[in-house]
Structure 1
Amino acid sequence: MLNRPQRIEPKPGQESVWDYPRPPRLEPVSGRLWIVFNDQVIADTENAYRVLETSHPPVYYFPPEDIQMDVLKSSPRQTFCEWKGACRYYTVQVGDNVAREAAWYYPNPVPEFAAIAGYVSFYASQMDACYVRGEQVDAQPGDFYGGWITQEIVGPFKGIQGSWGW
């Protein structure tokens, strides 16, 4: 039997990741999001999407036209998501600073996620700072996950020690 965590009750204006669906849902994001790496804004958008999945903080996807694509270098790494399909990775490089396989995208996602084809998501843990509507985010725990935690989101979050089976 899995030791499921105790859901934190959200306060007004907050969301619990335990109310998010499985399979995940895609939705547009209101407000500005941006990413800083090596003291440079490398992505800045008001046209992002987020993916919501049970026990995970939202994962944000930026449209390529709002990213400095010249800082992204294709990586040979590929993975497969049971919900979105085949995934490819980028290494981020600005000057001498390099974050290996710190960003990912779905070139041809399944129809339910077609809106994010080519959109790029970033591991907050590998960037200098990531922002959602002016708030600097915390990275979702764990090396595998890419969720962004803000004050609007309560957990507990998958990725902490002992959460593999959630």
Structure 2
Amino acid sequence: MPQTAGERIGVYPGTFDPITRGHSDIIRRGAKLVDRLIIGVTTNISKNPMFSPDERIAMVEREVAALGLDNVTIVGFNALLMKFAEKQGASVIVRGLRAVADFEYEYQMAGMNQQLNAGIETVFLMADVSLQPIASKLVKEIALFGGDITPFVSTAVRDDVLVRIKTLGQLGDY
């Protein structure tokens, strides 16, 4: 969808495997900063995804619908982030931060992205204090070992993860 005059478009990229309460917090807050927020669900095979890109897109669509945000859309992509952002007409990249380790990585990425397109700003949002320890990788690990992931994801996402673990049939086989 092309940008209209004066419209500020933001992109919040991620693998969302699975989408967590932390992601939802950043989406909710990021949507307040722009006229339109595009959630870019990307493929990152180095993260050993539990869910396919289509499953993750559907999961994010369902979670965003539950937030009731009418200025958020979800788009899958498998390209360089800055190329994706340019194609979407974005002027802002929204990134969530949890800890110092996140900042170091994100700072480096923001610098590289600025070299690729200085016209697109990166905005960092700190996760809510209660949500800072949540990471998709840890959610999957906790679930694989039989732990309760309810505090970290919605009930629907918890159910998706538990069904996937049952279909895998054995620990760590995803």
TM-score by length of 2: 0.25
User: 1 or 2, which has the higher helix percentage?
Assistant: 2
Report which structure shows greater RCO (CA 8 Å, sep ≥6). Answer: 2
